[in-house]
Amino acid sequence: MRSRLLGLSLTTALAVLLPLLAAEGASAAVTATAGSARISAGALDALCQPDTASARSTPTAWREHPDHPEVSHADQEALDPVASPDQMRRAERALPGRVRIPVHVSIVRGTHRTDRTVPMRASRKYVERLNKSFAGEKSSLGPGTRYRFWLASVRVVKNDTWYHAVGNSKADRTMRRKLHRGGAHSLNLYLTRPGRPGEFSGILGYARFPWQHKYPNRRLDGVTVSVDGLPGGRAKGYATGDTLVHEVGHWMGLFHTFQGGCEGRGDHVADTPAEAEPSFRCQVGRNTCKAPGVDPVRNFMNYSYDACMNHFTQGQVDRMDLAWFRYRDKDR
């Protein structure tokens, strides 16, 4: 089901890799000229890891820190007790064919000379990225979803403490309570740069699950993405915008594909094969568990490079629908 690049001739591999890299804004690793193309050994190594279960993942500096705390028992149980075929049919009947989600963007700016920010006009591009990904336009490996996003508002706030706030800190909670707009069906997107000023943080983003949208924490709902993980950012391999797609996946009710490793219920989605650990870079064909299927390296809910992640599965789409029906659709 997933393409295997190892074992292909260099010419064939380039034919596969070049469109992928070009589409994702890849840089000098690939040079194309009239009638010729060449790719560095480092780029091939980064994109194609050995197709063996012993190929260990080595985190890049940008993935040393998880994007949310350990999934709790309450998180594990939030949907499973109601994830019956009958409930799925109820959700399918109740939800419209197209769910339009308003996006409220808060661009937070710091006060240090080296603090990066993003222009207000870029917000529309981020929403377009979400729509392309949730419509299934990046790959034929997975289906589209019913969810489409529209830019409802953009504001710029200058607050150095909020700009550098890390997830669930006092400053982060204060920022969200002050800036949050809309109800459970509205996506609040905070663009900051978590971590100490001038120091490397390795934090790309974090999100709240839909079942966490409840009193007294309703105003804490939303998604934070570091400006380092947005187009033009410093997160090499992770700066074309798919951190946003990944975090909104959490906001829609999805766990990581590597949740729980090879044991237990994993990510609670039947059609994402079990995976012992995250994929970093793009280890296509890797198989780290004895259960059927190779690791879902190209799934948006992995830790792969942006150029590698390109789809959700039907099981993940079903889980989004159930989560939306149960926790977000009622607050309109």
pLDDT at 57: 57
The pLDDT mean for the chain works out to 82
- Burial track 291-330 (b if 16+ CB lie within 10 A, e otherwise): eeebbbbbbbbbbbbbbbbbbbbebbbbbbbbbbbbbbbe
Tally the C-alpha atoms within 13 A of residue 9's C-alpha that lie toward its C-beta. Answer: 3
Model pTM score: 0.82
How confident is the model over 122-142, as pLDDT tens digits? 999 999 999 999 999 999 888
* Other residues' Cβ atoms within 10 Å of the Cβ of residue 4: 12
Bridge-based pairing state of the strands 223-226 and 205-207: antiparallel
- Is residue 70 annotated as part of the catalytic site, yes or no? no
pLDDT band with cut points at 50, 70 and 90 for residue 72: confident
> CB under 8 Å to 260, separation ≥6 — which residues?
266, 267, 274
pLDDT at 245: 97
All domains of the chain in start order, with CATH: 10-47 (no CATH), 61-256+306-328 (3.40.390.10)
% pLDDT > 90, the chain: 58
- Catalytic residue, chosen from 77, 247, 263, 275, is 247
pLDDT at 39: 31
φ, ψ (nearest 5 deg) of residue 104:
-105, 115
* Other residues' Cβ atoms within 10 Å of the Cβ of residue 245: 22
3-class secondary structure, 76: helix
How confident is the model over 190-249, as pLDDT tens digits? 999 998 887 777 789 999 999 999 888 899 999 999 999 999 898 989 999 999 999 999
3-class secondary structure, 38: strand
- What is the secondary structure of 248-273 as a DSSP string? HHHHTTPPPTTTTTTSTTTTS-TTS-
Hey, what are 98's tokens?
Answer: 């197209």
Q: How many helices (H) and strands (E) does the chain have?
A: 9, 7
Peptide bond into 50 cis (omega under 30): no
How confident is the model over 270-316, as pLDDT tens digits? 999 999 999 988 989 999 999 889 999 999 999 999 999 999 999 99
The pLDDT of 162-183, averaged and rounded, is 96
- Burial track 256-287 (b if 16+ CB lie within 10 A, e otherwise): bbbbbeeeeebbbbeebbbbbbbbbbbbbbbb
CA distance 311 to 309: 6
Q: How far is CA 269 from CA 80, 85, 253, 292, in A?
A: 10, 14, 11, 14
CB contact at 8 A, 117 and 159: no
